[in-house]
C-alpha cells in the first residue's frame, strides 16, 4: 500500500502542542533570586513536584525554571497513557525489585488515584478518561501468556479473538488482556498547562527560557547558575546570567544531560515517533467499534501503542526506538520519514477498513531510558538536592510519584518512600561511547530477532537478563 498520500499534508508539529490553547510564553529570570525550593524542569516531573510542595506547605517559596517552554519536550509529545505501573509492568518489577514489587504495584495504584483526584480537585481540563488498556496479541504465541494473566478480581480480563472483535475490530488481533483499572488517558499538553495554571495560582514563580548551567553547594544553601536561552536548547545564547540561591533543589531534567555528573551515564535518550489521524467520521468509528475507548498496545518487543482522542482521532505510535551516537538530543531527530512510513503501513494493516484516512500530524521526541526501564533517584550535597530520571516512557503517571519521592528526600526525614530499594538503589549505568552505541544496536537487533522467533530470547538477551539490564515487554 502506498502510504505517501496519507502522510503528504501532515504537520511536523506535535499534535498536542499544535493549538491556540497553548499558554503565552512566560518571561525568563533576569535577576538573582532566593527561594526555599527551586524546581529545575517544566515537564510533568517538575510541575507535579512544585504542586505537591505547595500542598505540603503553602507558605514555602517555590520557583520553577524551564530552559524552553512548559511541556515542550517529552511531556507534550507522548501518547497520553497515564499508567499506574511504576516499574514498566509487574514482571519487569519482579525481575529488578522482587522483594518490594507488590508494594510498588500498590503505590502505583495509589498514585494514579491521586492524579485523578488532583484533576478533579483543581478542575483541570485535561480530557482525563480512566478507560484502561488492551494488551493485544497479534501472534498466536502471545495468546497463552495473556490468558494466564486473566484475573477479573484484580481487573485483568482475558478476551479471546471473538470477544475482542466485539470491542475493537482488527483482522490482526488474536486476543487481548484488558487492564480495566490501571491506565487512564489524558491530553498530555493540557495536563502540563493545567498544572502550570494551578501552581501559579498557588504562588509558584515560573520562568521560561531560563537554563540552569551549574549547581553548587554553598554551606546551608545551593547556588544555581542560570542563563537566558534562545528558542531552542541547542541554539541558546547567553543573554543574561543570574544566580538562584535555594535551600533545596529538585532536578527534573530527565532526558537532558544531568546536572549531577555522578549519574551522567545512567540514562540514554531514545527517540520515539507517533502519527495522528484526522477525526474519524461516525461511519468510520462504527467500522472499528472501540466504544470503550481503551488505550491499546501490542505484545511485541517492538510494540505499537494507540488511542482515541477527544475528537475521535487515532494516535498511532511506537515500533522504532532510535538511539543516536553520543547520547545526542537534537530537534533534527524529531522527524524520521522511514519510521512514519512504517507506522502508516502498520496502521492500515491494523485497520484496513480505514483506508483513505489522512494523517494530520507526524512527530517524534526523546525518552529518557535507564537500564532497569523505570525511574531512579539520587540526592547530593547533604540531601539539599534531589533528582529523578529514567522513566522510559512511564512519565505521564510516574512523574507525580517521583515528585513525592524527591520532596521526601529533600525533607531530610526517613519515610517509607526514601527507604524503598527502588529509591536507594541505582540502576546499572550504560557504558561510554562507542560501547553504548554498539551495545544498544546489538540489543535492538536481538529484540527484533526474538519477535521473529516467537518471543524466544537469544543468548545476548539472556545475558542482559542475568546482569539486571534485561526487559521483556
SS (H, E, C) 354-374: HCCCCEEEEEEEEEEECCCCC
Which residues, 6+ apart, have CB-to-CB distance to 148 below 8 Å?
Answer: none
Cell of 274: 507517533
Asked whether residue 32 is assigned to any structural domain, the reply reads yes
Count of C-beta atoms within a 10 Å radius of residue 417: 17
Is 460 found in the same domain as 418? Answer: no
Residue 222 falls inside a structural domain: yes
The predicted structure's pLDDT at residue 29: 94
The CB-side HSE value for 48 (13 A sphere, CA atoms) comes to: 26
> Is-contact 303 314, C-beta < 8 A?
no
Tell whether 400 and 447 lie within a shared domain. Answer: no
pLDDT of residue 468: 66
Looking at the DSSP bridge assignments, the partners of residue 129 are 185
How many domains is the chain built from?
2
User: Do 385 and 404 belong together in one domain?
Assistant: yes
First to last CA, the chain: 29
Instruction: Please say if the pLDDT value at position 63 is more than 50.
Output: yes
In a domain, 156, yes or no: no
Peptide bond into 434 cis (omega under 30): yes
Does one domain contain both 250 and 195?
yes
> What are the cell numbers at 77?
509529545
Whether 326 and 342 have beta carbons less than 8 Å apart is answered as no
**Residue 430 DSSP label:** P
Shared-domain flag, residues 258 and 196: yes
Least confident span in 23-37, 100-114, 232-246, 449-463: 232-246
d(C-alpha 220, C-alpha 246), whole Å: 9
pLDDT > 70? residue 472: no
Residue 452, in any domain of the structure? yes
Nearest one of 180, 175, 116, 372 to 266, comparing CA atoms = 372
Within-domain flag for 167: no
Q: What is the CATH number of the domain that holds 71?
A: 3.50.50.60
The position carrying cell 532510535 is 322
* pLDDT score for 470: 63
| CA–CA distances in Å: residue 180 to residues 116, 148, 158, 231, 294 | 15, 16, 11, 41, 8
- Split at pLDDT 50, 70, 90, the class of 444 is confident
Nearest CA among 178, 167, 186, 159 for reference residue 290: 167
* Residue 109 Cα distances to 112, 116, 125, 272, 472, angstroms: 5, 11, 22, 26, 22
User: Are both 253 and 204 inside the same structural domain?
Assistant: yes
Give 261's contacts (C-beta < 8 A, 6+ positions apart).
none
Q: What phi, psi does 395 have (nearest 5°)?
A: -70, -20
Are 419 and 439 contained in the same domain? no
Asked whether the predicted pLDDT for residue 237 surpasses 60, the reply is no
Q: Would you state the pLDDT for residue 122?
A: 98
Q: Which of 69-78, 223-232, 313-322, 336-345 has the lowest mean pLDDT?
A: 223-232
Per-residue pLDDT tens digits for 340-359: 999 999 999 999 999 999 99
Say if 413 falls within a structural domain.
yes
Whether residue 357 contacts residue 284, with contact meaning beta carbons closer than 8 Å, is answered with yes
Neighbours of 56 (CB within 10 A): 11
| Of 459 and 263, more confident | 263
pLDDT over 70 (residue 458)? yes
Tell whether 416 and 454 lie within a shared domain: no
Q: How confident is the model at residue 457 (pLDDT cuts 50, 70, 90)?
A: confident
d(CA 197, CA 49): 14
C-alpha–C-alpha distance, residues 414 and 408, integer Å: 8
Instruction: Give domain status of residue 248, yes or no.
Output: yes
Distance, C-alpha 59 to centroid of its chain: 31
Is residue 17 over pLDDT 80? yes
User: Based on the domain organization, do 239 and 258 belong to the same domain?
Assistant: yes
What is the per-residue pLDDT for 368? 95
Check whether 236 has a pLDDT greater than 70. Answer: no
Is residue 127 in a domain?
Answer: no
Among 259, 135, 188, 224, which residue's Cα sits nearest to residue 19?
188
Question: In this model, does residue 459 exceed pLDDT 80?
Answer: yes
- Angle CA 222–224–225, to nearest 5: 155
User: What percent of the chain is predicted at pLDDT more than 70?
Assistant: 96
**pLDDT digit string, tens, across residues 35-62:** 999 999 999 999 999 999 999 999 999 9
DSSP assignment letter at 265? T
* Residues 441 and 391 occupy one common structural domain: no
Q: Return the pLDDT at 448.
A: 80
Q: Going by C-beta distance under 8 Å and a sequence separation of 6 or more, which residues neighbour residue 142?
A: 174, 175, 299, 300, 455
What domain range includes position 238?
A: 24-79+189-265+372-424
Amino acid at each position: 500500500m502506498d502510504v505517501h498520500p496519507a502522510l503528504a499534508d501532515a504537520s511536523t508539529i506535535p499534535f498536542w502542542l499544535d493549538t491556540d490553547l497553548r499558554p503565552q510564553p512566560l518571561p525568563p529570570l533576569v535577576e538573582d533570586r532566593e527561594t526555599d525550593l527551586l524546581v529545575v524542569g517544566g515537564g510533568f516531573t517538575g510541575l507535579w513536584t512544585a504542586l505537591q510542595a505547595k500542598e505540603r506547605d503553602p507558605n514555602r517559596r517555590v520557583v520553577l525554571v524551564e530552559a524552553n517552554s512548559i511541556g515542550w519536550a517529552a511531556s507534550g509529545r507522548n501518547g497520553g497513557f497515564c499508567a499506574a505501573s511504576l516499574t514498566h509492568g509487574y514482571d519487569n518489577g519482579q525481575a529488578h525489585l522482587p522483594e518490594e514489587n507488590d508494594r510498588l504495584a500498590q503505590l502505583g495504584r495509589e498514585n494514579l488515584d491521586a492524579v485523578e483526584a488532583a484533576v478533579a480537585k483543581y478542575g483541570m481540563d485535561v480530557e482525563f478518561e480512566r478507560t484502561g488498556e488492551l494488551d493485544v496479541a497479534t501472534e498466536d504465541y502471545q495468546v497463552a501468556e495473556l490468558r494466564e494473566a486473566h484475573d477479573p478480581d484484580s481487573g485483568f480480563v482475558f478476551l479471546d479473538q471473538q470477544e475482542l472483535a466485539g470491542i475493537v475490530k482488527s483482522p490482526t488481533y488474536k486476543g487481548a488482556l484488558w487492564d480495566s483499572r490501571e491506565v487512564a488517558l489524558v491530553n498530555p499538553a493540557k495536563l502540563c498547562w493545567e498544572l502550570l495554571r494551578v501552581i501559579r495560582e498557588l504562588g509558584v514563580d515560573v520562568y521560561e527560557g531560563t537554563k540552569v548551567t551549574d549547581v553548587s553547594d554553598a554551606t546551608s544553601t545551593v547556588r544555581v547558575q542560570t542563563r537566558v536561552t534562545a528558542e531552542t536548547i541547542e541554539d541558546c545564547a547567553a543573554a543574561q546570567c543570574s544566580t538562584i540561591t535555594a535551600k533545596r533543589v529538585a532536578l527534573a531534567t530527565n532526558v537532558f544531560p544531568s546536572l549531577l555528573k555522578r549519574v551522567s551515564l545512567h540514562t540514554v535518550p531514545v527517540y520515539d515517533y507517533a502519527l495522528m489521524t484526522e477525526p474519524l467520521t461516525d461511519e468510520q468509528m462504527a467500522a472499528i467499534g472501540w466504544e470503550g475507548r481503551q488505550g491499546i498496545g501490542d505484545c511485541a518487543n517492538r510494540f505499537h501503542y494507540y488511542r482515541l482522542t477527544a475528537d475521535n482521532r487515532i494516535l498511532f505510535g511506537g515500533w522504532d526506538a532510535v538511539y543516536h551516537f553520543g547520547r545526542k538530543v537534537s530537534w533534527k531527530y524529531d522527524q524520521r520519514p522511514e519510521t512514519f512510513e512504517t507506522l502508516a503501513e502498520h496502521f492500515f494493516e491494523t485497520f484496513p477498513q480505514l483506508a483513505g484516512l489522512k494523517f494530520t500530524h507526524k512527530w517524534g521526541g526523546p525518552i529518557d531510558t535507564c537500564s532497569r526501564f523505570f525511574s531512579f533517584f539520587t540526592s547530593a550535597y547533604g540531601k539539599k538536592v534531589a533528582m529523578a530520571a529514567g522513566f522510559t516512557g512511564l512519565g505521564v503517571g510516574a512523574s507525580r510519584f517521583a515528585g513525592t519521592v524527591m520532596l521526601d528526600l529533600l525533607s531530610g526525614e526517613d519515610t517509607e518512600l526514601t527507604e524503598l530499594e527502588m529509591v536507594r538503589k541505582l540502576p546499572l549505568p550504560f557504558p561510554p561511547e562507542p560501547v553504548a552505541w554498539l551495545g544498544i544496536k546489538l540489543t535492538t537487533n536481538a529484540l527484533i530477532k526474538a519477535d521473529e522467533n516467537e518471543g524466544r530470547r537469544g543468548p545476548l538477551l539472556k545475558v542482559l537478563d542475568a546482569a539486571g539490564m534485561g526487559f521483556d515487554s
